[in-house]
A and B are shown apart, each in its own frame.
Chain A
Amino acid sequence: MREINFLAERRKALSKQEVADKRLMRLSLVGCGLMFVIFGAMFGGSFFLNREIGTVRAAQDAARAQITSDHSTEEAYVIYAHKLSSLSQIYQDRQAKRDTIAYFASAFSPDILIKGLDFDQKNKLLFFQLQSIDAFHLQEIFHLVNSPDVQSKFLSLNPSSLLRTPDGAYEMSLAVSTQKK
């Protein structure tokens, strides 16, 4: 009696599918393995970095303890540095003021007297109180103050408050900024 397998074609189809499934399984398992290795490596790297951070932090704590033990020196130096910074600033402002005074003292003729000076330390403004013996010297002041050469040297230069004294002299104020242009 001959046997007829009605499922032969079906078996063949299944075997083909099985082979394809097996290939897919192998590939996905290899991918999964690789991914696992990468995952592990990342985890290891993260662990290593965290451990190193811990070591560095411990070294920092030791360094901080050493710095704290030298607290008095640090305190003295910080005060010194702040004082030096303030002194340097005061000295620079003063130098700018002195340069401005020296400039105008040499620029005006001897008949123009710098009668008064007032330095506004906050706004770095120097107020000159000038006195000229007559109107001609007063003109000299205006000529000098308005000259482009002098104007270009200072940030601001403003003459004001002109008055004539009973003895015929003229007095005026001149506000000069000592800040660098």
Chain B
Amino acid sequence: MKINWKDLQKVDFGYLFFQRRYFLVALLALGVTGIMLLLVIFVQVPGLFSANDQRQEEKRTLLQLQQKINALQDLETFQSSDIRQKIDLALPSEKPLLELLSGVSAAAQGTQVSLAKVETNPGKISTASASLQSFGSTDISGLSPIGPTVGTPGLPSVKVAGVDTLQIQLTVVGTLPQINAFVDRVEHFAPITDITQIQLETLVGPGIPPGMYTAKLLLTSFYFSQTLRIGVDNPLPEVKSQEQLFLDNLNSFTFPQQTQSQNGIQGGGSIDLFGVVPVKAE
């Protein structure tokens, strides 16, 4: 509809406002009510719900933080606890080559198998993510029954259960029960080590008693090299039932003897270790 402004000028607005002033006030009040209603419906009510949700969320976060504080208070003595040290020994944070070789040696002595050959690549420092090499099986014909020889085969590093692995290849000589016992011992010492390959060959030759076998074993030891991020708001990880089961079995493992770290220097001129009376030249 087109508004004719000239006609509107003829309307006496003053008269109209005076006659219908209550009606106009009512209209104004209704307009204000309408605006407030719209604000309440579209702004305030959603804002109120949102603020309430946020308050609940913040309270939940606070509760989690308080639970974390309580949990951390319970863990005050954890750092020096025996269980933590055992876990560190079972899964060290660096390549456990020496510990592994020492464990293998102890297991061999304990089960009376002779270590014929040890092959490893201790110089390789890259992790599994860096590269993968193809594993070439080595010939065991060159084994020496006198003492172990150390070679450097291209043993691969593989990530298992999120941790890096260190593999060494062993050739042991012994009877089947001795080899079984050796395998059992190796799988029960720390650092945790798996035997992932076994190759048995009957050992025959002059002067070799019957029932002797050579077993070529691939030992996979594990070490933890992950970079972890700690978030203040993140809850502390919980020990699950499967992990508790492992903890229950942890005492069946053989742990290496803890070596006392050097914390001072002996000698250096301050103490005479040999007790030799100094001779003065005349």
Contact = CB atoms under 8 A, between A and B. Distances in A.
Interface of A: 14, 17-18, 21-22, 24-25, 27-29, 31-32, 35-36, 38-39, 42-43, 45-46, 49-50, 52-53, 56-57, 59-60, 63-64, 66-68, 70-94, 97-98, 113-119, 121-122, 129
Contacts of B196: 118-119, 121
15 contacts: A21-B22, A28-B25, A32-B32, A38-B36, A39-B39, A60-B62, A67-B68, A67-B69, A68-B232, A70-B69, A73-B78, A75-B230, A81-B238, A94-B187, A119-B195
Contacts of B101: none
A25 B160 contact: no
Nearest to A48: B51
Nearest to B215: A116
B150 interface: no
Given A32-B30, A82-B226, A88 B245 contact: yes
Interface string B34-74: 00110110001101100110110011011001101100110
B29 A31 contact: yes
A67 B30 contact: no
B22 A60 contact: no
B158 A67 contact: no
B161 A83 contact: no
A45, A86, A98 — most chain B CB neighbours (10 Å): A86
B19, B26, B247 — most chain A CB neighbours (10 Å): B26
Given A32-B32, A46-B51, A56-B62, A27 B72 contact: no
Q: Which are the 7 A-B pairs with shortest beta-carbon distances?
A: A21-B22, A81-B237, A89-B161, A63-B65, A28-B29, A49-B51, A25-B26
A115 B245 contact: no
B34 to A, nearest CB: 9
Contacts of B84: 76, 80
A23 to B, nearest CB: 9
Contacts of A68: 232
B197 interface: yes
Contacts of A71: 230
B260 interface: no
Interface residues of B, number: 77
B79 A73 contact: yes
A79 B90 CA distance: 13
Nearest to A43: B44
B29 to A, nearest CB: 4
B19, B37, B240, B243 — most chain A CB neighbours (10 Å): B243
B158 A49 contact: no
B277 interface: no
A57 B58 contact: yes
Interface in B123-163: 158, 160-163
A86 B55 contact: no
Contacts of B237: 77-78, 81-82, 85
Interface string B78-90: 1100001001101
